[in-house]
Amino acid sequence: MSFRRLWSTPKAMGDVNMVTEELKNLYYKRLLPVEKYYSFHHFHSPSYEDADFDNKPMVLVMGQYSTGKTTFIRYLIEQDFLGSRVGPEPTTDCFTALMYGEVEGIIPGNALTMDPKKPFRNLDPFGNSFLNRFQCVQMPNRILESMSIIDTPGILTAAKRKLSRGYDFAAVLRWFAERVDRIILLFDAHKMEFSDELTRAFGALCGYEDKLRVVLNKADRVDSQHLMRVYGALMWSLGKVFRTPEILRVYIGSFWSEPRQMCDHYQLIELEEEDLLADIRNLPRNAAVRKLNDLVKRARLVRAHAHIISYLKQEMPTIFCRESKKHNLIYQLPVIFNKIQQQHHVPAGDFPDCTKMQENLLGQDFSKFKKLKPSLMASLDKLLSTDIAKLVPYIQHQEQRKRSLHGVLDGEFLRTFKPEHYRRDPFKEPPMDEGSELDFDEWVVEKYKPKYDEIFYNLSPTKGKLSGTKVKEWMTKTLLPNSVLAHIWRLSDVDGDGMLDDEEFALAVHLIEEKVEGHWLPRELPPHLVPPSKRLSEASDVSV
Domain ranges in the chain?
15-44+289-402, 57-263, 446-534
Give the closest residue to 275 by CA, choosing from 304, 250, 256: 250
Q: Find the range with the poorest average confidence among 119-133, 144-158, 427-441, 454-468.
A: 427-441
200 to 131, 168, 173, 197, 511: CA distances (angstroms)? 21, 10, 10, 5, 44
Fold matches, 57-263 and 446-534 = no
Q: Max Cα separation, the chain?
A: 98
pLDDT by residue (tens digit) across 135-182? 999 998 888 888 999 999 888 765 555 556 788 888 999 999 989 999
Which pTM value belongs to this model? 0.70
Residues 6+ apart with CB under 8 A from 12: 6, 18, 394
pLDDT higher than threshold 90 for residue 298 = yes
Which of 94, 23, 92, 102 lies closest to 55, judged by CA? 23
Q: For residue 278, what pLDDT band results from cuts at 50, 70 and 90?
A: confident
Find all residues with CB under 8 Å of 476, minimum gap 6, and list them: 482, 485
pLDDT band at 6; cut points 50, 70, 90: very low
Closest to 529 in 3D by CA, of 453, 467, 446: 446
Domain 57-263, classified CATH 3.40.50.300, yes or no: yes
In the sheet that holds 250-252, the strands lie side by side as 105-108, 134-139, 95-100, 148-151, 58-63, 182-188, 212-217, 250-252
Q: What is the pLDDT of residue 381?
A: 93
Fold designation for 15-44+289-402:
Topoisomerase; domain 3 (1.10.268)
In CATH terms, 446-534 corresponds, of 3.40.350.10, 3.30.499.10, 1.10.1740.10, 1.10.238.10, to 1.10.238.10
Q: How far apart are CA 13 and CA 21, in angstroms?
A: 9
Residue 440 has pLDDT above 60, yes or no: no
pLDDT at 543 over 70: no
What is the per-residue burial (b if ≥16 Cβ within 10 Å, else e) of 117-144?
Answer: ebbbbbbbebeeebbebbbbbbbebbbb
Model pLDDT for residues 399-437, shown as the tens digit of each residue: 555 443 232 333 332 332 333 333 333 333 334 444 444
Predicted confidence (pLDDT) at residue 13 exceeds the cutoff of 50 = no
